[in-house]
Structures are given as C-alpha cells and as structure tokens.
Amino acid sequence: MSGEIAKALLRAGCLLQGEFKLSSGGVSRFYVDVRRVYSHPSEAKVVAGALAEVAGKLGCDVVAGVESGGIPLATMVAFILDKPLVYVRKKPKEHGTQRMIEGDPNVKGVAVVVDDVATTGSSILRAVSALREAGFSVGDALVVVDRGEGAAQNLEKAGVRLHALLTLKELLEEAGADER
C-alpha cells in the first residue's frame, strides 16, 4: 500500500526539494506538502481511502483533525467511514464560541487523531491533550507520512500509537531521491 500512496503523492507534486524549516524547528532538504494532494482529486481519493481503511480497523467513534493540514484529511475519512468529525485548533478561537475543539460539543467517544505529516509529534500531542481534556478517549493517531524524527516515540510516551501510511524514507525511495 505504501508504494501506491507514495506514487499518488509524487503525482500531486507533494515532495519538494530545497531548504525548508519544519514546524519542529529543524531544517530539511525535503518537505512533504500533503496539502497539494487536495488539488488532485484522484490522488486525494487514494490517500483518503487508505487513511479510512486504517482508521476503520482502529475502531474509532470520532475522527479528529489537527489544524490545519489534518482537517481536510480527517473530513474525508469521516465521510468515508460515516463517523462524526471534530477538529482541534492550535489555540482557542478568540471570538465566537472561543473553543479549541470545533464540531458538535455533544460528540464524544474514542477518537482517532488525523494529521498530514508527523515529525516530532508535537502538534498531534497538543491535539490529543485537548481531546482528552474534553472527555475523548485517544489511543491512536494517523498520518500520511512519518518523517521518522521521533514522533512515534514521543506519542508512545503519552499512550498514543502512531500509524503512518508511509515513511519519508519510503517516499524518497519511490522518488529516487538521495536522503543525504
């Protein structure tokens, strides 16, 4: 399955080469811009279908997206699985309802957290913390790409298993790119 996902991401132009500052603060020669896949419906269907397949096996009641890259993915997964969707903001909204978690506040249960790319896992951990505080049970997170830079280990310490459709190494191999 990872080969099919890698090909879909590459067709959508999601692998960028250059010098990029990551949300973790690190710098990388490669950036995986999963947001580009949304402009390519055929490739987005491949990615969303694979995410939904994994999420369905995890037995979740709710799909929770991480702002901002995880929201479109979580939305597609929730629709495919016919599950409620919530999403977690980076910080509470400063107007209106001033909530950190958007969606029906009466929705609760076992949530799977969905994001686009995991590096250190800090964005996912922030979302997991907010969801748990709101009464959700969270034991699994799902991403398209795991960069292999500590996210799985950091999430494990918080009692969360990271599931990735593929690793950055697998994506680079499919692209024929040199990791160094």
In sign, the C-alpha dihedral spanning 51, 55, 56, 58 is positive
Mean pLDDT, range 25-50, rounded to an integer = 95
**Rounded CA gap, 11 and 9, in Å?**
6
Mean pLDDT, range 64-74, rounded to an integer = 96
pLDDT of residue 161: 98
Domains in the chain, CATH or no CATH each: 2-175 (3.40.50.2020)
Q: What 3-state DSSP class applies to 82?
A: coil
pTM (predicted TM-score): 0.94
pLDDT band at 180 (very low <50, low <70, confident <90, very high): low
Alpha carbons within 13 A on the beta-carbon side of 69: 18
Q: Is 158 exposed, middle or buried (0-12, 13-18, 19+ CB in 10 A)?
A: middle
pLDDT band at 24 (very low <50, low <70, confident <90, very high): confident
**How many residues make up the chain in this entry?**
180
